[in-house]
């Protein structure tokens, strides 16, 4: 039989459990799909075929023994910022071109324990800095919906791989929008969990107070399944939280009656494309039809400052985190140098790309003695204001609804010379990381043939509420069933 490469996790699981399909067959089908579409899409930094076939055989054995979990034998891909001891972990940077970590990230351990099959590691903006995956030091990834356009970023490889049927699901990381914005651009589901929900152990740090790992999937049920697998406390990450992990699939299928949803007006920004505005407002009306009470008049007045706050805090933390790439400990090391300082300088000069250098300089400046109070400290104060506004909103509303990105996917090269335009891709997602709260992006329509995503934001540890709303909307619409033709 020909095996479709558009199976969701829950569909693949059903076939595997009934033994109508083996993980070996499924994995082989995905590897051949990768071979045929990857030259056009270029989502993957590394394909781990041998490892995948080995893991598939082990999964088949496990299933034969009657030991099957929702992810057992299901092929997935992982963003190349997550450490894997069996595959190089590059961060799409020259600095880590041949870096094979000595350990697996906590979430990789968990996914392996559940029997996931790893197909490969996905391309990203170098060190997760960017919104289009054009900042990869290796190649750009193409949006499966229109190969001339970007898949979003920084988890653009993960989003494109799922949308193109190269993988059943993916893992991404989100510092200011890097799971949700590419999910929106590729018409898939992306979840940025509450800060502390998922262990960051083995996630290569960009901005540690903002980074979270999350699922990128074809539908909401799959997102719940992956969240079940990766959530929970880990003593190796001191910011990981001990809150119990519910079964996130249990709330799926409940209706929206009695739910109070707020629409914060600051998220409908100037410069937003009219087709995005229309699609999101139509989606909100759908939520109302499904029983939710909508308040169209919510205001979070500090929202317009989020971008500035983010571009002080994230580069500041990045400048400290990236100091470790010195050519001595690990990674690229320039050998052609006259002495220690010269070696350090040349290693960082050749090892890092332009966007990474820009962020390091910005952060070093903001943290330096004369400017710390004016920039970093001020940004932290505004961060507190933003967080408090969310807290106040969640006293009244179960969730807030916004666009995920103000635009549909843009053309490659279109924003490369206009940093401000590029940075604005994440205006709707950054406040969420600044506050630490969870959010999900789900498909909510198309502008022409280009995907549009809706963001649902909740209070800390309210992932269940977000999934419930997202699922109700998804089941009442057809967007998630549309697939790109490549």
Residue numbers at the binding site for ligand GLN (CB under 6 A): 128-131, 154, 174-178, 206, 314, 426
- For ligand GLN, which is the closer residue by CB, 166 or 174? 174
- For ligand GLN, which is the closer residue by CB, 55 or 405? 405
Tally the C-alpha atoms within 13 A of residue 310's C-alpha that lie toward its C-beta: 28
- Measured from the CB of residue 295, what is the shortest distance to ligand GLN in angstroms? 29
- Measured from the CB of residue 425, what is the shortest distance to ligand GLN in angstroms? 7
Task: Judge if the upstream peptide bond of residue 247 is cis by omega within 30 degrees of 0.
Answer: no
Token pair recorded at residue 67: 């030991």
Ranked by CB distance to ligand GLN, the top (closest) residue is 178
Give the containing element (helix H, strand E) for 121.
Answer: strand 117-122
**CB 449: neighbour CB atoms within 10 A?**
11
- Measured from the CB of residue 474, what is the shortest distance to ligand GLN in angstroms? 24
| Given the residues 79, 110, 192, 346, the one annotated as active site | 79
Strands, DSSP E only, in 268-394? 293-298
- Measured from the CB of residue 212, what is the shortest distance to ligand GLN in angstroms? 9
- Measured from the CB of residue 339, what is the shortest distance to ligand GLN in angstroms? 34
What are φ and ψ of residue 45, in 5° steps?
A: -75, -40
Q: ∠ CA 480-246-79 to the nearest 5 degrees?
A: 50
Of 97, 357, 328, nearest to 337 by C-alpha is 328
CA 36 to centroid of chain Cα atoms: 25
Does the annotation count 178 as an active-site position?
A: yes
The full length of the chain comes to 486
- For ligand GLN, which is the closer residue by CB, 154 or 231? 154
Strands, DSSP E only, in 393-449? 399-403, 439-447
Distance CA 120, CA 35 (A): 12
| Given the residues 154, 302, 405, 441, the one annotated as active site | 154
Does the annotation count 154 as an active-site position?
A: yes
- Measured from the CB of residue 380, what is the shortest distance to ligand GLN in angstroms? 18
Distance CA 85, CA 271 (A): 44
Integer distance in angstroms from the first to the last C-alpha of the chain? Answer: 22
- For ligand GLN, which is the closer residue by CB, 75 or 176? 176
Strands 117-122 and 293-298: unpaired
Tally the C-alpha atoms within 13 A of residue 375's C-alpha that lie toward its C-beta: 19
- Measured from the CB of residue 180, what is the shortest distance to ligand GLN in angstroms? 9
- Measured from the CB of residue 177, what is the shortest distance to ligand GLN in angstroms? 5
Four-CA torsion 124, 205, 110, 191, nearest 10 degrees: -60
| Given the residues 23, 93, 132, 178, the one annotated as active site | 178
- For ligand GLN, which is the closer residue by CB, 230 or 434? 434
Distance CA 278, CA 433 (A): 26
- For ligand GLN, which is the closer residue by CB, 23 or 212? 212
- For ligand GLN, which is the closer residue by CB, 217 or 333? 217
- For ligand GLN, which is the closer residue by CB, 76 or 172? 172
433 Cβ neighbours under 8 A, 6+ residues apart: 174, 175, 176, 177, 192, 195, 210, 212, 310
Does the annotation count 209 as an active-site position?
A: no
334 Cβ neighbours under 8 A, 6+ residues apart: 327, 343, 346, 347, 349, 350, 351
| Catalytic annotation, residues | 79, 154, 178
């Amino acid at each position: 039989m020909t095996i479709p490469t558009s199976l969701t996790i829950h569909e693949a699981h059903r076939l595997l459990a009934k033994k109508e399909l083996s993980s070996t067959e499924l994995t082989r089908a995905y590897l051949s799909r990768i071979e045929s579409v990857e030259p056009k899409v270029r989502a993957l930094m590394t394909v781990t075929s041998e490892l995948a076939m080995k893991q598939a055989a082990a999964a088949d054995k496990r299933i034969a023994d009657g030991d099957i979990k929702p992810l057992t034998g299901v092929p997935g891909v992982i963003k190349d910022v997550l450490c894997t001891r069996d595959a190089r972990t590059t961060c799409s940077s020259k600095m880590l071109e041949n870096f094979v970590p000595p350990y697996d990230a906590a979430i990789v351990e968990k996914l392996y324990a559940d029997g996931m099959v790893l197909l490969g590691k996905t391309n990203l903006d170098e060190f997760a800095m960017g919104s289009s995956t054009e900042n990869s030091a290796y190649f750009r990834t193409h949006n499966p919906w229109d190969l001339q356009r970007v898949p979003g970023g920084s988890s653009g490889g993960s989003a494109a791989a799922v949308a193109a049927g190269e993988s059943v699901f993916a893992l991404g990381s989100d510092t200011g929008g890097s799971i949700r914005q590419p999910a929106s651009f590729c018409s898939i589901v992306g979840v940025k969990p509450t800060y502390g929900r998922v262990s960051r152990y083995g996630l290569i740090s960009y901005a540690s107070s903002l980074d979270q790992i999350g699922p990128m999937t074809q539908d909401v049920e799959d997102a719940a399944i992956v969240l079940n697998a990766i959530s929970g406390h880990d003593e190796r990450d001191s910011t990981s939280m001990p809150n119990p992990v519910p079964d996130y699939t249990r709330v799926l299928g409940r209706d929206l009656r009695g739910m109070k949803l707020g629409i914060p007006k600051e998220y409908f920004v100037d410069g937003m494309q009219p087709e995005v505005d229309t699609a999101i407002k139509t989606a909100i009306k759908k939520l109302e039809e499904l029983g939710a009470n909508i308040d169209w008049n919510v205001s979070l007045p500090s929202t317009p400052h989020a971008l500035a706050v983010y571009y002080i805090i994230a580069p500041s933390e990045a400048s400290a985190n990236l100091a470790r790439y010195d050519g001595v400990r690990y990674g690229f090391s320039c050998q052609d140098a006259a002495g220690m300082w010269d070696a350090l300088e040349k290693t960082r000069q050749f090892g890092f790309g332009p966007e990474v250098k820009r962020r390091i300089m910005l952060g070093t400046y903001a943290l330096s003695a004369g400017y710390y109070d004016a920039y970093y400290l001020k940004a932290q104060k505004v961060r507190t204001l933003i967080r408090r506004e969310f807290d106040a909103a969640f006293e009244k509303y179960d969730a807030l609804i916004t666009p995920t990105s103000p635009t549909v996917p843009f053309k490659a090269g279109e924003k490369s010379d206009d940093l401000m335009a590029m940075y604005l891709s994440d205006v709707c997602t950054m406040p969420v990381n600044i506050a630490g709260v969870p959010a999900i992006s789900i498909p909510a329509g198309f502008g022409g043939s280009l995907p549009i995503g809706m963001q649902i934001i909740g209070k800390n540890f309210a992932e269940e509420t977000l999934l419930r709303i997202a699922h109700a909307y998804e089941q009442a619409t057809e967007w998630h069933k549309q697939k790109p033709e490549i």
